[in-house]
Structure 1
C-alpha cells in the first residue's frame, strides 16, 4: 500500500535558523490535524509539501515525487495559506476565474462554493475592499475548486465567523467521505463532534510527533 503522503529526511533552514529536521513522516488517507502555536514550523511544513519553498529531503504523494514530477505533484494538491496575499486590484471573480481555468474545473462548482460561503454578492468587488473574513472565505472557495487528492488548509478557522466555520467543517467531512484527504493546522482546539479527525500531530523540537 502506498501512503498518501510521505516525507523523508526533511531539513529546512532560514539562514542559520533550523526550523524542521526529521527523518520520516507518513500519513494515510483521512483528516489530519497539526496543532501548535505560531513559530513552530506548521506553515513552513505546509509550504514544503505544496512545493512553495525549497528544502532538503523528499516528498511523495501517492508515489509521485515532488522534485521529480513537480507539475504532476502540484496538480494533486490544493493549498490555502493562513494569511492569503492576493492582488488588491483584481476582483474576487477574476481570482476565481484563474483558479477555475488553472484546475480545469467547472465554473458551476465555483459559483456553488461562492453561494455556500455567502460570498456571491461581493464576488465582483475588488479584493482590496474585502474584510479579513471575506478574504479568508475567498481563499477557501479557491481551495475547494477542482478535484485534488489532498487539501492543505493552514489556519482555516482564523477570521471567519462561527457559522462559516461550521460550513467549512461540513464541507471537509463531506469531501472526506468521497475519499479526499486533509492536512489542517490550527492553534485552536477542534472538537471531534464537528470534525472526524483521523490523527492529531504536533511539531516539537523540529520533529512531527503523533499525539
Structure 2
C-alpha cells in the first residue's frame, strides 16, 4: 500500500531520518516517538510537503513521478495546524471542497458531527485550540483519499470529540481506507484495532 525506500532527510548538517525501507499494508497504524525524533518530518515526506532523498510510493503511484496524483490520494492533518487568522472556518472548508472535488453534504455532516457548524462563519483567529483542532480534522476527512495521516490528532480535543474521531476512523477503515497516527497518548486496541505499531529510533523506523 505505502512503501518508502532509501529515505534520508537533513536540516542543514543535522540528519533527522536515514533508513532503507519501511512498508505498510492497508490498515490502521500507530507511529510512536518522542519530540524531535522525526515523526512530523516523516509525515511531511510521505505527504509530499518537503524535499528529501529516496522514494515514496502509494498504491503504485510514485511521489516523484506523479506528485499531483500522489498528493490527491493522501490527507495530512498536522499536530499544530496553522491557518490565516482572518479567514473564516467556512472559507477554509470551501477551499478544501473545491480542491478535493468533494460533496457539500459530506462536509456539512462532518461539521455537524464535530459540533462545529455554529462557528464556521467566525474567523479562525477567534477559535480556541480545541475548535482549531476540530476544524483541521474536518478538513482532513473532506473528499475521498486512500491514506489519512493524523499527527497528534487527540491533543486539545475533549473526550467526546476523541471518541467521535475513533468512531470515524473505524468507519473509514471498514471502507478500505488506511491511517497512520501519531500520539503521545496510548492508543489501545480497545479504542482502535491497530494493525501495527512503529517507533522512530536512531533515525530508523522499527516495528514494535
> What TM-score comes out, normalization by structure 1 length?
0.98
Q: Which among 44, 63, 66 is matched to residue 66 of structure 1?
A: 63
Q: Match for residue 150 of structure 1?
A: 147
Superposition RMSD in Å: 0.5
Deviation at 1:37, TM superposition (A): 1.3
Q: For the Cα contact (< 8 Å) 1:90–1:127, is it kept in 2?
A: yes
Q: Match for residue 39 of structure 2?
A: 42
Q: Which runs of 4+ in 1 moved over 4 A?
A: none
Q: Distance in 1 between matches of 2:162 and 2:104?
A: 24
Deviation at 1:59, TM superposition (A): 0.3
1:132 aligns with 2:129: yes
Q: Match for residue 81 of structure 2?
A: 84
CA displacement 1:34-66 (0-9 Å, x = unmatched)? 012111100000000000010000000011000
1:44-193 to 2 correspondences below 5 Å: 44-193=41-190
Unaligned runs of 5+ in 1: none
Secondary structure at the residue paired with 1:23? Answer: strand
1:197 aligns with 2:186: no
Q: Distance in 1 between matches of 2:186 and 2:117?
A: 30
CA displacement 1:57-114 (0-9 Å, x = unmatched)? 0000011000110000000000000000101101000000000010000011111000
Q: Distance in 1 between matches of 2:173 and 2:113?
A: 18
Deviation at 1:186, TM superposition (A): 1.1
CA displacement 1:122-150 (0-9 Å, x = unmatched)? 01100000000000000000000000000
Deviates more, 1:185-194 or 1:67-76: 185-194
